Every structure is written in structure tokens, then in C-alpha cells.
Amino acid sequence: MDDILDEVHLKLQVKKLYQAINRVLKDREKVIIELRYGLVDGSCKTQREIASMLGISRSYVSRIEKRAIDKLNKALNN
């Protein structure tokens, strides 16, 4: 029974996360979070790989990622 409750709770948390991603993140932040954590295809990318794909520096990817995570954290804890 606990396993079922844990799975339901996890699915609800994942749903809240995706809703927050769509609600609070700007397009570039969303792309970076999706690529970094493999939310689209299950394949996580490094900051360096993302920087190369987007034509920006790795440190800029890092700053955008940090800002996006802060936004998500605030959205999910309110």
C-alpha cells in the first residue's frame, strides 16, 4: 500500500514540476533545464554541451541554470 501511495505522490510532484517549468521559466531557461536534466529525451547534457548547442558560454549556461532552479524552487515552495 505504501508503494502505491509513494508512486502517486511522486507522479503528483512530477506534474507540479512540469507545470512550474511551463509557468515560471522563460524559453531559454526552459530549454536549458530540459537539456541539462534530460526532461525531453532522458539524455542529460553537460553545461559545455548546452553552451555549444546554443552558441553561448558555459558560464552563461551555469548562470541561467541557477536562476531557473531558483525560480522553480520558489514556485514549488509557495
- The answer, yes or no, to whether residue 72 has pLDDT greater than 80, is yes
> In this structure, what is the dihedral angle of CA atoms 57, 59, 65, 69, given to the nearest 10 degrees?
-170
Q: What is the DSSP letter of 1?
A: -
Residue 39's pLDDT is what? 92
CB atoms within 10 A of CB 32: 27
Residues 6+ apart with CB under 8 A from 54: 28, 31, 32, 61
Would you put residue 47 in left (φ > 0), alpha (ψ -120 to 50) or beta? alpha
**How do residues 20-63 score in pLDDT, each as one tens digit?**
999 999 999 999 999 999 998 999 999 999 999 999 999 999 99
Q: What is the DSSP letter of 22?
A: H
